Amino acid sequence: MYLKRLKELREDHDYTQEYIGKITNMKREQYSRYETGKRDIPLDTLIILANLYNTSVDYILNLTDDKIPYKRN
């Protein structure tokens, strides 16, 4: 499930939920709901996180195990 991967990426980069909230322009509590599955994560936030972690949205969503992002135009 992508929730686990989302949390692992954040922790691997030593980021707090509060920091990610600032990056994504939301409160920590709102971001926390994405990691716990209480809310679905919006596409625009997924794109921000994929860029931040230098990976793909597919990796975050657990559709691939390849961390390397796709070639972007």
Is residue 69 in a domain?
no
20 Cβ contact list (under 8 Å, min separation 6): 10, 28, 31, 49, 52
Q: What is the pTM of this model?
A: 0.88
Domain region containing 45:
2-60
Q: What percent of the chain has pLDDT over 70?
A: 95
The CATH number linked to 32 is: 1.10.260.40
Q: What is the pLDDT of residues 20-53, one digit of tens each?
A: 999 999 999 999 999 998 999 999 999 999 999 9
Q: CA dihedral in degrees (29, 3, 66, 71; nearest 10)?
A: -40
Cα–Cα distance measured from residue 49 to residue 1, given in angstroms and rounded to the nearest whole number: 16
Which pLDDT score, from 0 to 100, does residue 1 have? 67
Q: Is the pLDDT of residue 72 over 70?
A: no
Is residue 21 in a domain?
yes
Confidence at 68, pLDDT banded by 50, 70, 90: confident
